[in-house]
A and B are shown apart, each in its own frame.
Chain A
Amino acid sequence: MGATVLRLGMEPKFGTPQDFAKFMADETKRWTAVARAANL
């Protein structure tokens, strides 16, 4: 499956649920800061 993902131009990223949760939390924080700065 990883090879297929690569062929689609993406990078396989099969981490743990905990890794995924932390990534989502960090991303939400980052985009919230951008949205507030842009007054969206």
Chain B
Amino acid sequence: MTGRRSFLAAMAAGLCVTVAPPSIAQTYPNRPIKIIVPFAPGGADVIARLVADRLSAVLGQPVVIENRPGGAGGTVGTKAVATADPDGYTLMLTSPGPITVAPAVYKNLDYDPVKRLAPIAMIATSPFVLVIHPDVPARSVREFVAYSKANAGKVNFVSPGFGTSSHLLGELLKLRTGAEILHVPYRGATPAIADLLAGQVHMFFDNIRNLQPFVQSGKLRALAVTSEVRHPEMPELPTMIESGIDEFLGYYWNGLLAPPARHNRSSIASIPSSMMA
């Protein structure tokens, strides 16, 4: 399901069932809406700006983006949304880390994504791409794994932080292949990519949007994508499955969530009809 109508329908349906009690629904929205992005500027807020523009156009209210970085993997900003007033005026545009990965790695996570955040709509997905610095002598995932084993303790992989999707994908590669790679967590993707470009570190799983320019310019070497089928932007690149690692899948995504309404979640009546146009 793609296109403007389906997006608006999904957004309207999501807002209807998640964000506001009936008393608010009569006039919603009557003031600006805030979308919190729990990361530093760049990355997810590219999609957030698209969503804000669309929502503002159809709802007739300003929709502002607030970056709220901090904590591990976006958990600080996510907690701020999870504890916000569930009035429909605080939304969240996120990527996987604080929602589907953090619960797996933080025993003391102080919010429950399932209970405290209601899904409104998935917006976009992208496979991850495994890239290495060109100095690493590998032309395939199998060659990279073999190189890591032959140089145990010397080969590393980077991530934007502990408990991020990139981190878990690296761990999955270790589990599935026995690759001897050490995790080096950074504070965000930007410094991780900078050090990878400089040859200070060796390997990175990140979404195609972030890495494609560097692959196309030859500054990084892509070995595989984590989708079920090859990506149309990089059709020459095999999947991890084609590279011999069964069921190795991983998707970056961006989605819109909100604190769930405390009252009668299904009775909002007056989402503007233009949302469905």
Contact = CB atoms under 8 A, between A and B. Distances in A.
- Answer whether A and B are interacting partners: yes
Interface of A: 1-2, 4-5, 8-17, 19-21, 23-25, 27-28, 31-32, 34-38, 40
Interface residues of B, number: 51
B101 A11 contact: no
Nearest to B210: A9
Contacts of A12: 2-3, 7, 123-124
Contact of A24 (B113, B163, B209): B113
A4 B50 contact: yes
B72 to A, nearest CB: 12
Contact of B124 (A13, A27, A37): A13
Interface string B1-39: 111101101110110011000000000000000000000
Contacts of B245: none
Contact of B119 (A2, A11, A24, A34): A24
- The 10 A-B pairs at the shortest CB distance, nearest first, are namely A20-B119, A27-B100, A38-B171, A10-B124, A32-B104, A35-B104, A9-B209, A31-B104, A10-B126, A14-B10
B160 interface: no
B2 A2 contact: yes
A17 B17 contact: yes
